[in-house]
Each structure stands twice: as structure tokens, then as C-alpha cells.
Amino acid sequence: NAGVTQTPKFQVLKTGQSMTLQCAQDMNHNSMYWYRQDPGMGLRLIYYSASEGTTDKGEVPNGYNVSRLNKREFSLRLESAAPSQTSVYFCASSEAHGTDTQYFGPGTRLTVL
């Protein structure tokens, strides 16, 4: 099993450009998440999908959109990138209950110039 995979690993954008970060999991998990990690701030939830067909905002959703394409895939889109979106982005998946472990992908390092 590959677990949680993310593409691309690295990306450099200019301000105003758009891009989509891809995430897929092969663990048959119901829930998927997008986080951003910034120095000194831990991980902050951008959006999550509790189950296939649903998406909800997390703590920092502004400037992002998501699509739960199917049970396996959950994408994050930046429509008009800004320097404040320079960060490391992690996708995660889990079963739905609060006791369940979240499994993380390797991350995408995004720089917006």
C-alpha cells in the first residue's frame, strides 16, 4: 500500500497563477483533510471531507477550494495564488471517528513569488 500520496512535491508559482494539488489514499478511508504547515504555527486545517460527497471549511479556508473527486481522491485548488500561501501543504486521511489516526502524505512545498 502506498498510503497517502501527493503531487507535486515542489512547486513555484507567480502571484496570481492558479494550481491544483492532488492527493490520493488507498486505505479506503472515509475522511480526508488538507492542512498547511507554517513555521511556529503547527498544522492548520484548510478544508476537510468527512465522507465522499461532502466538504467543509476548516480554520483557514480563504483563497482555497477543494474537490472530493471520489472516495480515494481529494484535491486542493489555489485560484489566484498569493505570497501568503507560501507554505508546506499536507493531505491526510482517516476513518471518521475522533479516536482514529490520521495518516499523512509527504507534503507539497509551495512557494509563491
Partner 1 sequence: AQSVTQLGSHVSVSEGALVLLRCNYSSSVPPYLFWYVQYPNQGLQLLLKYTTGATLVKGINGFEAEFKKSETSFHLTKPSAHMSDAAEYFCAVSPRSGGYNKLIFGAGTRLAVHP
Residues at the contact surface with partner 1, assessed by CB under 8 A: 4, 31, 33, 40-45, 48, 50, 90, 92, 94-102, 104-107
Handedness of CA 77, 6, 94, 39 (dihedral sign): negative
Rounded to whole angstroms, how far apart are CA atoms 21 and 39?
A: 21
Whose Cβ is closer to partner 1: residue 73's or residue 95's? 95
Whose Cβ is closer to partner 1: residue 17's or residue 73's? 73
Residue 44: closest CA among 104, 90, 98, 103: 90
Whose Cβ is closer to partner 1: residue 17's or residue 52's? 52
Find the shortest distance in angstroms from Cβ 100 to partner 1.
Answer: 5
Distance of CA 86 to the CA centre of its chain: 14
Find the shortest distance in angstroms from Cβ 53 to partner 1.
Answer: 14
